A and B are shown apart, each in its own frame.
Chain A
Amino acid sequence: VTISSEARVQLEVDRLVQRTGARAGYLIADSGMVSAQAGDPSEIEVATVVSLLAAQTSAAAALATLVCGREFSEFVQEGASSSVRVTGVGGRWILALLVDGPTGILNRLDRSDDHVRGLEAAIGALAPGASGAGTGSGVGSPWADEAESRIDRLFREES
């Protein structure tokens, strides 16, 4: 059985969430879009959290290069009831793992981990230039026609 590159990325994210014991995990492109997610994201506004994580990681990566002369690898944000650990994977993606409690309770994860390598290999198999789990054209003009009419209805003053 062969599976698509996108499905493989999803599978590897599922495995990483199970392997680390995270409540939820997100693979995020550097544009701030979610490529794959696994686990239970309840109680958080995914788009907002992900955009902030991507921005924070971009800034951290730029700082790491400018100030420390090395690549960004990881940062953690610890909260009273939940935390997040962010790891750079595959060059232009980040893996964010959410946990109920401190990040110390997550199982250790480093770049030599088989699952991280599996995820990086799956990302590498995505289309060249892809910024996520599938990009570019191909959804078709019926979709575009409907999207345009939805835009006309939504992007206007609420009466």
Chain B
Amino acid sequence: MSMINYASREISCKLVYYGTGLGGKTTNLEYIHSRVDPDTRGKMISLATEADRTLFFDFLPVDLGEIRGFKTRFHLYTVPGQVYYNASRKLILKGVDGIIFVADSQNHRAEANIEAMHNLYENLEEYGLDLATLPFVIQYNKRDLPEVLSVDALRRELNPGKVPEFEAVAIEGTGVFETLRAVSKLVVKTLS
């Protein structure tokens, strides 16, 4: 739930990148960190293992500046994708305002994507939240790799609700900002 602090005139929104392990969630944040205006972003924090697998979360605060008297910020988080880190994933979802599901387009990750999507539904349900009413977008990542599923096939499995969807090659930046803009605008609409 977005925080509007009328006393200090601040608005903060929490966006969470969700999805299967090694799908590209951290890569999205790293790309945003490397390309967004440095004056508008804070430090990126990655709580990761030695092998650079996300252990708890990555965090990147981005400041939109003052808008109509309100300092406005987006806090971007990723969750650890590996199946056994579900307790951590659930904690990161607390108070979420918008979700980006990063799907791995490779054939052999089809089952893992579906499992991660089910896990997202289950974890949100525990907080009384429903993806049908939350700002939610899907990113089909790794479109540059060989042996990827078609977007139609991915859509059939992951996007029956026809939420906004984007093809991406996060490591090169393709589709990263388009995805972020889309979910950010959906969150902003919920506040107006």
Contacts and interface: CB of A to CB of B under 8 A. Distances in A.
A133 B7 contact: yes
A136 B190 CA distance: 8
Contact of B35 (A59, A141, A158): A158
Contacts of A147: 64, 67, 72, 188, 191
A55 B192 CA distance: 29
B37 interface: yes
A66 B57 CA distance: 21
A32 B94 CA distance: 8
A69 interface: no
A87 B149 CA distance: 49
Interface stretch (B106-114, B135-143, B157-165, B173-181): B173-181
B184 interface: yes
Contacts of A48: 42-43, 45, 59, 61
B169 interface: no
Contact of A33 (B35, B59, B95): B95
Interface in A23-45: 29-37, 45
B84 interface: no
A33 B62 CA distance: 13
Given A32-B75, A137-B192, A151-B64, A132 B3 contact: yes
Contacts of B35: 157-158
Given A29-B3, A131-B95, A36 B190 contact: no
Interface stretch (B8-16, B18-26, B116-124): B8-16
Given A62-B87, A143-B191, A150-B65, A33 B184 contact: no
Contact of B1 (A6, A133, A135): A135
Interface residues of B, number: 53
Interface string A126-141: 0001111111111111
A139 B191 contact: yes
A156 interface: yes
Contact of A132 (B5, B64, B67, B91): B5
A47 B3 contact: no
Contacts of A35: 3, 5
A103 interface: no
21 contacts: A6-B5, A29-B95, A31-B3, A34-B10, A36-B8, A37-B8, A45-B42, A47-B73, A48-B43, A58-B91, A130-B1, A133-B7, A137-B192, A138-B4, A141-B192, A147-B191, A155-B36, A155-B177, A155-B181, A156-B177, A157-B177
Given A34-B5, A134-B5, A152-B181, 14 more contacts: A32-B94, A45-B43, A48-B43, A48-B59, A52-B45, A55-B91, A55-B92, A131-B95, A133-B8, A135-B4, A137-B192, A154-B40, A155-B181, A157-B173
Interface of B: 1-8, 10-12, 14, 32, 35-37, 40, 42-43, 45, 47, 56-57, 59, 61-62, 64-65, 67-68, 70, 72-73, 75, 77, 87-88, 91-92, 94-96, 173, 177, 180-181, 184-185, 188-192
Query: Which A-B residue pairs are the 10 nearest by beta carbons?
Result: A31-B95, A144-B192, A132-B3, A47-B61, A33-B3, A58-B91, A143-B68, A133-B5, A147-B188, A6-B7
